[in-house]
Structure 1
């Protein structure tokens, strides 16, 4: 942790803007079309990357007892950091998310922590990918922003072990969105989904994360 690499925020911004500019091409490759990211979505996501960089520099363990609120903080950032919504709207929406996060049955932070405890010795690729499929599958960890917040949490896990973060790009978008769409249709605590479908999507994400490491273009060395 003492030698943790810093994020190259400028490179992340450049990649996300390029992805935004080429989203028509990306959508042409997808079975389920996605809404192109707005400028606000991109700036919120960049703020999220800056926040995980801060967590890592300060040696903060997102999954330590008592730190679950930091996961909620990431979700708040990707949804509202540069939002024009009123403070009252943001507060009301965040309260609903917080209630869901802690109390939802067969999901929520308790279920995610149980999964992490069972997979603490799994290699970093499957562990970070599994966190993502866990966040996306039903019931999702957050009411909104699961793809974006999940990407940040995956990136945090990878960077803790010296690897590059995951950043959506024109090249990886299809391999990111398609298994993500399938994961969203699956349900935690379902025998078939837990033992067949979710592990299958996790393997796809793990393969994508490993292949992205060859580039290492988002770290300041």
Structure 2
């Protein structure tokens, strides 16, 4: 079993702030312009990375039967952990996302679990990238925040195998957003997308993840 790794939250925050500051340069490289992450988005992401730390310390398996609401919780954290919305709106948003998350007509968490079971012997890079493309492609797993939640889930899976997390940076942003833009237009229930286009984007993400083995984001390298 791989040793339990812990995140260097300060380094992750520094990287995300640097990404925020350089986002105009990042947008200049993208085919589709994106909104730069706000301070709230960064703070929510940091809360999400901290939650991953907690799960790793506790030995929690996010994909164990009965733990799916922990995955749903990660999405809620990246969207609303540091938010000024009312309690009523918070509950309403969570209820709507939960309904979508478990809806089999929307593919939902059930189909993701089936994909993971089918790919249990796939190498960690391709498996992690495949989960991300599954989350991001249509119908998306969450109503909002699929990129951010997907990044956290990828980080969790990589760290369970003793590898570094994925953190969006100025250097990797283009290689992350460009295939992501194509992926979110694909439909996991369409044969040509399922067997041709999504595997192609998965290979791109797997290559990115493998090249991003950045030890500075870990406390116990």
Category of TM-score, reference length = shorter chain? over 0.9
Query: Which residue matches 1:90?
Result: 90
**Cα deviation 1:162-204 (Å, max 9, x = unaligned):** 0000000000000000000100000012110000000000000
CA distance in 2, matches of 1:173, 1:193: 24
- Structure 1 equivalent of residue 217 of structure 2: 218
Instruction: Give ranges in structure 1 of 5+ residues lacking alignment.
Output: none
CA deviations 1:87-120 (Å, max 9, x no partner) are: 1111101100000000141510001000001000
Please name the residue that 2:108 is paired with.
108
Given that residues 101 and 108 in structure 2 are in contact (C-alpha distance below 8 angstroms), is that contact kept between their aligned partners in structure 1? yes
Aligned-CA RMSD value: 0.9
- Counting matched residue pairs gives 220
Cα shift at 1:82: 0.2
- Alpha-carbon distance between aligned partners in 2 of 1:78 and 1:55, rounded to the nearest angstrom: 16
Q: TM-score, normalised by structure 1?
A: 0.98
| Residue of structure 1 equivalent to 2:77 | 77
1:147 to 2:147 alignment: yes
Q: CA deviation at 1:3?
A: 2.5
**TM-score calculated relative to the size of structure 2:** 0.98
The answer to whether residue 22 in structure 2 is matched with residue 22 in structure 1 is yes
User: What does residue 164 of structure 2 align with?
Assistant: 164
Partner of 2:61: 61
Q: What is the match of residue 192 of structure 2?
A: 192
Distance in 2, matches of 1:173 and 1:167, equals 9
Checking the alignment, whether the CA contact within 8 Å between 2:2 and 2:160 is kept in structure 1 is no
The aligned counterpart of 1:5 is 5
Contact kept, 8 Å, 1:106 with 1:189, in 2: the verdict is: no
Question: Which residue matches 1:173?
Answer: 173
Q: Distance in 2 between matches of 1:170 and 1:6?
A: 23
**Quick one: distance in 1 between partners of 2:2 and 2:211?**
26
Per-residue displacement from partner, 1:128-168 (whole Å, max 9, x unpaired)?
Answer: 00000000000000000000000000000000000000000
In 1, are the aligned partners of 2:2 and 2:161 still within 8 Å (CA)? no
